[in-house]
Amino acid sequence: MSLDRIKKIGVVGAGTMGQGIAQICAMAGFDVILYDIKKELLTSAEKIIIKNLDKGIEKGKLTIESKDLALSHLTLTDDFPGLKCDLIIEAIVEDLVIKKDLFARLEQINDDSTILASNTSSIPITRIGAALDNPKRFVGMHFFNPAHIMKLVEVISGAETSPQVAKLVHDLAVRLNKVPVMAKDAPGFIVNRVARNYYVEGLKILEEKVADHEGIDRLLESSGFRMGPFRLMDLIGVDTNFSVTTSMFDAFYQDPKFRPSRIQRQKVDAGHHGRKSGRGFYEYPD
Give the per-residue SS3 of 201-261: HHHHHHHCCCCCHHHHHHHHHHCCCCCCHHHHHHHHCHHHHHHHHHHHHHHCCCCHHHCCC
Query: Is 160 a residue of the active site?
Result: no
Q: Of 121, 157, 241, 243, which is the active-site residue?
A: 121
Superfamily for 3-184? NAD(P)-binding Rossmann-like Domain (3.40.50.720)
Q: Where in the chain is the domain with CATH 3.40.50.720?
A: 3-184
Q: Where in the chain is the domain with CATH 1.10.1040.50?
A: 192-274
Query: Is 142 a residue of the active site?
Result: yes
Max Cα distance, the chain (Å)? 56
Residue 28: CB partners within 8 Å, gap ≥ 6?
Answer: 175, 176, 177
**Dist CA 209 CA 232 (whole Å):** 20
pLDDT digit string, tens, across residues 19-46? 999 999 999 999 999 999 999 999 999 9
pLDDT band at 1 (very low <50, low <70, confident <90, very high): low
Query: Is 162 a residue of the active site?
Result: no
Query: Is 113 a residue of the active site?
Result: no
- Cβ contact 169:117 at 8 Å: yes
Q: Of 110, 119, 192, 247, which is the active-site residue?
A: 192
pTM over 0.85: yes
Q: Of 90, 107, 154, 160, which is the active-site residue?
A: 154
Query: What topology does CATH give the domain 192-274?
Result: N-(1-d-carboxylethyl)-l-norvaline Dehydrogenase; domain 2 (1.10.1040)
pLDDT digit string, tens, across residues 227-281? 999 999 999 899 999 999 998 999 899 999 999 999 999 999 999 999 999 999 9
Q: Of 142, 148, 170, 272, which is the active-site residue?
A: 142
